[in-house]
Amino acid sequence: MDTIAVLGMGLLGRGFAENLLAKGHAVRVWNRTASRCEPAVELGAVAASTPEDAVRGASRVHLVLAEDTAVDAVIDALRPGLSDGAYVIDHSTNLPAGVAARFDRLRAEGIHYVHAPVFMGPSNSRDATGLMLLSGPAEDETTLRPLLEPMTGRVLYLGTEPDKAAKMKITGNAMLFMLTGAMGDLFRMGEASGVTTDEVFALFEQFSPTPAAMGRRALGAGDRPVGFTMVNARKDVRLMLETAGPERLSLLPAIAASMDAAIEAGRGAEDFSTLADPSRD
């Protein structure tokens, strides 16, 4: 039976190992802090003491590490044990420029490196649910899709650019963090003014602006009559800051500063949504 190596037994990596073991694969694991291999070993994985030993004879290698510096260090360490033609599939969330440089360097040396970052949490990696991104040569998608699909809910192939998946991964995470900051601002405003979190959720069942709709409004704003001026939107942000106390908020103070700069630049009568139009910088 083929051996699969999973390097990185953090929150996500140990879930991948658990799922592969449950499907009957032979799994070899390695982690910088060796004790973190124990849960996978209890389920049947074999722990290796070095990356080189972990990948020896493995048909494919999954990296689930913190980021670029860890990925580069671990790839350097595993190389002497890597079988010819074995894929090194990197699920870590990395800098796109780091992925592009690593792809060029390793491919020139005959190593089949691909980047496949994920929108998956620990329970997704255990249950093979969620979304995995993949980009790079089309023939790699053909080879890897049948191997990766059983590890996730869906594999989204984003084309031949090797760092496209990295770019889209940080795009998605940026939205996650901004929405989290936005919800925090709303909850804090509510706390200060007597609106409960349940009432906030109930409002958005009736009134539900979406990211895509707001983005399209911003990009099309120049072609339509102004609907809501920047000056009036800035007034509303002042009301929010006065209600909550600006020091308690994450996003609204930054938005106020961007609106002030736009108004200062003579854009006060424009639609507020032009704040999101990158061509207006």
Ligand X SMILES: NC(=O)c1ccc[n+]([C@@H]2O[C@H](COP(=O)([O-])OP(=O)(O)OC[C@H]3O[C@@H](n4cnc5c(N)ncnc54)[C@H](OP(=O)(O)O)[C@@H]3O)[C@@H](O)[C@H]2O)c1
3-state secondary structure of 211: helix
How many CA atoms lie less than 13 Å away from 231 in the CB half-sphere?
8
Instruction: Name the residue whose CB lies closest to ligand X.
Output: 10
70 sits near ligand X (criterion: CB under 6 A): yes
3-state secondary structure of 267: coil
**Pairing assessment for the beta strands 26-30 and 46-47 based on DSSP bridges:** parallel
In the window 113-152, what residues touch ligand X (CB under 6 A)? Answer: 118, 120-122
When binding is defined by CB under 6 A, the residue of 13, 81, 162, 190 that contacts ligand X is 13
When binding is defined by CB under 6 A, the residue of 22, 49, 50, 66 that contacts ligand X is 66
Identify which range of 42-50, 61-69, 218-226, 253-261 contacts ligand X by CB under 6 A.
Answer: 61-69
Which tokens is 83 given? 């079988």
How many CA atoms lie less than 13 Å away from 124 in the CB half-sphere?
13
3-state secondary structure of 143: helix
Q: How far is the CB of 77 from ligand X (least distance, A)?
A: 8
Pick 177 or 204: Cβ nearer ligand X: 177
- 163 with 103: CB under 8 angstroms? yes
Binding mask 32-51 for ligand X (x = CB under 6 A): xx--x---------------
Pick 64 or 252: Cβ nearer ligand X: 64
74 sits near ligand X (criterion: CB under 6 A): yes
Sequence-distant (6+) residues with CB within 8 A of 20 are 4, 6, 27, 151
Q: How far is the CB of 34 from ligand X (least distance, A)?
A: 8
When binding is defined by CB under 6 A, the residue of 21, 27, 54, 65 that contacts ligand X is 65
67 sits near ligand X (criterion: CB under 6 A): yes
Distance CA 19, CA 232 (A): 53
Distance CA 141, CA 61 (A): 16
Q: Which residues bind ligand X (CB under 6 A)?
A: 8-13, 31-33, 36, 64-67, 69-70, 73-74, 92-93, 118, 120-122
